[in-house]
């Protein structure tokens, strides 16, 4: 083991003994927080950073007006009158779209395709339940380019096509089987 040289870290040789604290002050404990003031920098970059920091502080002090007309003042939640499951359904559907793109990228080199069929309003299903009365069917039919709602056999034919060998070069797609209601949105 080498002997320590004077003036190196850890060694006391060559240094004058100095008091721990000024007279009358308590010694700092290990958990105490030390408040340090950063050194003031000069130059255009430092001035710009100080200005940005000041802008951020000022932005936190000002209470902005609600960004959305249905936000109550002082609240951050939308006043939504729709059923609670509509939001979770949309979020789940959006995550499936992102997952489909991930699967297509992962499975594509192996020759496996990954696609989604997104049907519009389909007659004879229980998806809408009692909400799909004659007036709602007429309203939804008017929104499509074909002027009618879909049949379950038409959606099944789209699924069969995507599973067939003829669709071997189609992957990562979302096939909207909705009669032109959403036009690929």
The torsion angle over the Cα atoms of residues 85, 90, 92 and 94, rounded to 10 degrees, is -170
Residues with a catalytic annotation lie at 89
125 touches 183 (CB < 8 A): no
Per-residue pLDDT of the chain (185 residues; tens, 9 = 90+): 555 555 555 555 555 555 555 555 666 677 676 666 666 667 788 888 888 888 777 766 655 555 555 555 555 555 555 555 567 878 888 899 999 999 999 999 999 999 999 998 898 888 877 778 889 889 989 999 999 999 999 999 999 999 999 999 999 999 999 998 876 54
pTM: 0.51
Place of tokens 């802008």: 55
Q: Which domains does the chain have, with CATH numbers?
A: 88-177 (3.40.50.720)
């Amino acid at each position: 083991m080498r002997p320590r040289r004077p003036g190196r870290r850890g060694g006391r040789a060559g240094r004058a003994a100095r008091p721990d604290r000024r007279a009358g002050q308590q010694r700092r404990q290990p958990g105490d927080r030390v408040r340090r003031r950063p050194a003031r920098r000069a130059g255009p970059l430092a001035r710009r950073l100080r200005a940005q920091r000041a802008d951020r502080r000022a932005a936190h002090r000002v209470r902005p007006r609600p960004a959305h007309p249905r936000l109550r003042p002082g609240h951050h939640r939308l006043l939504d009158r729709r059923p609670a499951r509509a939001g979770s359904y949309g979020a789940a559907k959006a995550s499936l779209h992102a997952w489909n793109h991930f699967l297509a990228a992962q499975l594509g080199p192996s020759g496996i395709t990954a696609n989604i069929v997104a049907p519009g309003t389909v007659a004879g299903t229980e998806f809408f339940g009692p909400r799909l009365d004659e007036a709602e069917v007429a309203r939804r039919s008017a929104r499509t380019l074909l002027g009618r709602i879909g049949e379950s056999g038409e959606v099944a034919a789209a699924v069969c096509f995507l599973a067939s060998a003829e669709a071997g070069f189609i992957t990562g797609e979302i096939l909207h089987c909705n009669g032109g209601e959403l036009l690929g949105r």
